Amino acid sequence: MFVITGASGQLGRLVIEQLLEKVPAAQIIAAVRSPEKAADLAARGVQVRQADYSQPATLDAAFAGAEKILLISSSEVGQRVGQHQAVMAAAKRAGAGLLAYTSVLHADTSLLGLAEEHRQTEIALAACGVPAVILRNGWYHENYTAAIPGALAHGAHFGCAGEGRISSAARTDYAAAAVAVLTANDDQAGKVYELAGDSAYTLSEFAAQVTRQSGKHVVYSDLPEADFKAALLQAGLPEFLAQLLANSDAAAAKGALFDQGQQLSKLIGRSTTLLAASIAQALAT
């Protein structure tokens, strides 16, 4: 039995779709906070079970019979270490044979502010008593392609990443990596994968690609970190998110999102999705 947490989220759904191509639906448990969000999966034969990282009792019921569990990191920044530890404890009680965790690229040394919770989670994982494998996911292309409508409206994509090179990949690539690890025949316990796109770009290059494909002129406007955060606040983002995004861009300027190891394409057996392809997809929707 494979358990996927966060299965109602964007990454979780892609993992389930790709896992369905490899194993029968009856062997997949979609562990979700709100089962009604996964009614479509239940209709396809996937077992949908309620699992809230903040309610350990739900985790015991959700993990019953689990052999391999994918813990998709929580989106509740600030609460994540305790939530992830609750998942580890439940995985241990369930007798799971493998716990895979979606961390962040170069978590042990990363300058990203959000890496701290991943670092602490990785330390807890090593001590939790369940064989664990770490998927250190780099940035999603979608973090930037989601901003395309705003960039087209303003003729500019704003940020504070300077000339930092970003080795992002599409969410679907990271989902494929998770499925590869969960279904691998060889022992994955103890492995740490640094997962990133095959090629890297600057945000100026991103803006140039948006210009080429959309036919509308978009420049990259590089701001001081504080000004970028202020712009995000003015656009209506909550304080913590504006802080997190500005901090991440500033870390990207120092290379925090860059990686040349190509472990992601090796793991999934194909090249990672080109940024240009994700931009085309975003423009088409």
Ligand X SMILES: NC(=O)c1ccc[n+]([C@@H]2O[C@H](COP(=O)([O-])OP(=O)(O)OC[C@H]3O[C@@H](n4cnc5c(N)ncnc54)[C@H](OP(=O)(O)O)[C@@H]3O)[C@@H](O)[C@H]2O)c1
Residues that bind ligand X (CB under 6 A): 6, 8-12, 33-34, 37, 51-54, 72-76, 83, 102, 137, 139-140, 143
Q: Which is nearer to ligand X, 37 or 191 (CB)?
A: 37
Cβ atoms of 256 and 111 closer than 8 Å: yes
Give backbone dihedrals phi and psi of 133, rounded to 5 degrees, phi first: -130, 140
Supply the minimum distance, in Å, between the C-beta of residue 80 and ligand X: 7
Cβ atoms of 82 and 235 closer than 8 Å: no
Supply the minimum distance, in Å, between the C-beta of residue 138 and ligand X: 6
Helices (H), the chain: 10-20, 39-43, 56-63, 80-94, 115-127, 142-145, 148-154, 171-183, 203-214, 225-234, 239-253, 263-268, 275-284
Q: Which is nearer to ligand X, 82 or 219 (CB)?
A: 82
Three-class SS state of 70? strand
- Shortest Cβ contact with ligand X: which residue? 9
Supply the minimum distance, in Å, between the C-beta of residue 117 and ligand X: 9
Supply the minimum distance, in Å, between the C-beta of residue 71 and ligand X: 10
**DSSP codes, 208-259:** HHHHHHHSS--EEEE--HHHHHHHHHHTT--HHHHHHHHHHHHHHHTTTT--
Q: Which is nearer to ligand X, 51 or 268 (CB)?
A: 51
Q: Which is nearer to ligand X, 211 or 281 (CB)?
A: 281
Q: Which is nearer to ligand X, 84 or 229 (CB)?
A: 84
Q: Which is nearer to ligand X, 17 or 219 (CB)?
A: 17
**Nearest Cα residue to 235 out of 245, 250, 247:** 245
Supply the minimum distance, in Å, between the C-beta of residue 268 and ligand X: 16
Give backbone dihedrals phi and psi of 25, rounded to 5 degrees, phi first: -55, -35
Supply the minimum distance, in Å, between the C-beta of residue 152 and ligand X: 22
Supply the minimum distance, in Å, between the C-beta of residue 175 and ligand X: 9
**How many residues are there in the chain?**
285
Q: Which is nearer to ligand X, 34 or 224 (CB)?
A: 34
**Nearest Cα residue to 67 out of 92, 90, 97:** 97
